[in-house]
Amino acid sequence: MGCHFIPLLLTLLLCSTLPTKSSSQTFKCSSPSTSTCRSLIDYISPNTTTLSQIKTLFSIKNVRSILGANNFPLSTLPNFTIPAKQPIKIPFTCLCINNTGLSNKQPIYTVQKDDGLYHIAAEVFSGLVTYQEIAAVNNVTDVNLIKVGQKLWIPLPCSCDDVDGVKVVHYGHVVEAGSSLELIAQEYGTSRNTLMKLNGIANGSSLLAGQVLDVPLQACNSSVRSDSVDSPFLVPNNTYFFTANNCVKCNCDAANNWTLQCEPSGNKPSSWSTCPAMQCEGGLLTIGNTRTSGCNTTTCAYAGFSTDQNISTTLATQSTCPVTTGPGASPGNFASRIGLSRNYLFIYIHMILLLVYLL
């Protein structure tokens, strides 16, 4: 009897016709099980969809989170159309369990009529997880027995681990056909060796289209305190994020010297009655405002928030003053001064010789 006469799930179990990409999407995560972090993962819909539909599918609270992860304008409407096969970054919270990173009890998928675990994993969620992984975390003992209306936790792969001693945002990048470790490393500011180490890849040529690759993203430098509710506050390049109960909007742009830029969001807070004052010492500057004195620029920077409805700020100063001498001096400026001194010495000597000649 041919495989096409066997029910779909038995076909998957008995016939060797599964896709050639890796059957495991798990990311290593050795951070304490009590800690969580923010992660990103690509979602590539097989059909045309909208931001609102993606929000619902991945149990995301608001569309703004998707807009920030993809650096879309805040004015983008929820019914904005996403073409089929276009990657969209999905933001979610990661939790480490038994040295494996999984999305923290979300998204939750409600089983529809005619659904099967393989269909949910491979088609609804575009292969970001396997049906075995869904079955395992939901204690499904028989993959053929799921019920309409049943709630299933979809365990997206993620990690909270430092990379080479640096805190990063782990991004589940779906490999495109024709791509390579070198191209991916160059695009996201990492190295081929780092990608191989993180993903347990022994041979770079074994990379497969559709594989979910753990890519570490550098985050902008911030002034957020270690005791802040949102610490460590990591915002990667070309993204923005709302924090402090939706009162503060922070964005990262590598072109801005990898310095986090924050400002009042202007939005209604998510759980507070109003957003508290966000001023720096003296009340002359609000978060995001700057003042310039000579070649020094001082910014009122976001420094975190607490559960008692308090937003912390700090003054951060950047100097653009040229350094001309001493350790750290600019070689170009120092060389210019040397050259200038030599010119003056040359002129001085010639003036002395001229005076001697005239006398």
100-103 and 27-28 beta bridge pairing: antiparallel
The H-assigned helical ranges of the chain are 8-14, 51-57, 63-69, 117-118, 131-137, 181-188, 192-199, 331-358
Query: Which of 324 and 20 is assigned the larger pLDDT?
Result: 324
CA dihedral sign, ordered 198, 201, 205, 206: negative
> If pLDDT is split at 50, 70 and 90, which confidence band does 338 have?
very low
* DSSP string of 188-232, one letter each residue: HT--HHHHHHHHT-S-GGG--TT-EEEEEE-B-B----TTSTT-S
Predicted TM-score (pTM) of the model is 0.81
CA dihedral sign, ordered 204, 210, 159, 235: positive
User: What is the pLDDT averaged over residues 151-158?
Assistant: 97
Contact criterion met (CB below 8 Å) for 184 and 213: yes
**CA separation for the pair 197, 173 (Å, rounded):** 15
pLDDT at 132: 96
Contacts of 32 (CB under 8 A, 6+ apart): 96
**CA separation for the pair 68, 51 (Å, rounded):** 12
pLDDT tens for residues 46-74?
Answer: 999 999 999 999 999 999 999 999 999 99
pLDDT at 354: 60
Q: What are the backbone dihedrals phi and psi of residue 11, each rounded to the nearest 5 degrees, phi first?
A: -60, -45
Q: What are the backbone dihedrals phi and psi of residue 333, each rounded to the nearest 5 degrees, phi first?
A: -65, -40
CB atoms within 10 A of CB 274: 9
Q: Name the residue among 168, 310, 315, 305 with its Cα closest to residue 227.
A: 305
Lowest mean pLDDT of 222-231, 246-255, 283-292, 321-330, name the range: 321-330
Three-state secondary structure call for residue 308: coil
**CA separation for the pair 78, 82 (Å, rounded):** 11
Lowest mean pLDDT of 68-77, 122-131, 219-228, 280-289, name the range: 280-289
Residue 185: pLDDT above 90?
yes
DSSP state of 166: B
Q: What distances in angstroms separate CA 219 from CA 41, 222, 239, one per listed residue?
A: 16, 9, 10
**Cα radius of gyration (the chain):** 27
End-to-end alpha carbon distance in the chain: 119
pLDDT at 88: 98
Q: Is omega for the bond preceding 216 within 30 degrees of 0, making it cis?
A: no
Contact criterion met (CB below 8 Å) for 117 and 143: yes
pLDDT at 355: 62
